[in-house]
Amino acid sequence: MAQLEGLLEPTALSELVRRWLKEDVPSFDFAGAVVGDGIETAVLYAKSKGILAGKPFFQAVFDELNCDVQWHDLASDGDVLEGPFPIPLADVKGPVRKILLGERLALNALARCSGIATRSSELVKIAKQTGWKGIIAGTRKTTPGFRLVEKYGLLAGNADTHRMDLSSMVMLKDNHIVSSGSISKAVEKARTVAGFSVKIEVECSSVEDAMEAVEAGADVVMLDNFEPEALQVAAQDLKRWAGGRRFIIEASGGLSEASLADYCVPGVDILSLSIMQGAPAVDFSLKIPRKRA
């Protein structure tokens, strides 16, 4: 796996953390006045099974607060947390007020990111066990303000991020098509602004829609809300019909962890589902050791 930390641009990460801090402390940090600025060291523990993910976000919170984070050797994004619990992962040293100021923000990011990585990993494993060679992708159904964390979690769990945002790929859904008049007109308009370097995907509810999209020049056709058997027939019919034309077939709608294996059928290149929604968090805590009397 590539070094995921290298994906994150430092100033963007810093700006994200500053927004989190501003939201969490819009005026006074009352509890911070109780504990003061004495230097303490807190220990980060993993307390439940999962895939570790989100270290850069945890790190960025405490970098912003001028605290020092020392990660243990066996604490890398993508690592499996198996116990025995609790597992010490890092030491955070700094003014106690600053440690407690960043505690919940840093833990929230780590828990959410790790939870998505864990669910992604489980879904990718299900798909691989069927012998299917395609890609499992997350959708754009992310939490506002938390997209970077959640998309990073997909990568840490070996899933695909799909499009990151509206600027990274054109996706023409039913409302775009209705508003444009037809699939062909929508694709034509999209190409005039997207140019050659941005892919165009079209949501299709039938094989006929998909054929129109391919003929119009779409790079990806999404077969939406097909049952597994109908999906396999549609995908194979499309590939035969297309001849030498190259395009990607994505399937979405109705997929879940329970039904995923049924959708891993020949002819389909990508299966996308809302991995982020409902992903349970991995449990972490940050503890300052009690002082002996």
Active site residue ranges: 141
Whether 186 and 176 have beta carbons less than 8 Å apart is answered as yes
Measured distance CA(9)–CA(217) in Å, rounded: 34
Closest CA to 8 of 44, 71, 55: 55
Strand runs labelled E in 73-224: 80-81, 87-95, 135-138, 170-172, 200-204, 220-224
Q: Which two tokens stand for residue 275?
A: 């991995």
Strand partners, 135: 270
Q: Which run of H or of E encompasses 198?
A: none
DSSP strand pairing (284-287 vs 39-46): antiparallel
The span from the CA of 81 to the CA of 51, in Å, is 6
Asked whether the beta carbons of 171 and 163 are under 8 A apart, the reply is yes
Give the integer Cα–Cα distance in Å for 72 and 81: 13
Report helix, strand or coil for 246: coil
CB 271 within 8 A of CB 127: yes
Nearest residue to 70 (alpha-carbon basis) of 53, 56, 55, 90: 90
The tokens for 104 are 């919940």
- Residue 133's alpha-carbon distances to 79, 124, 271, in angstroms, are 24, 10, 11
Q: DSSP 3-state assignment of 155?
A: helix
Cα 277-281-285 angle, rounded to 5 deg = 155
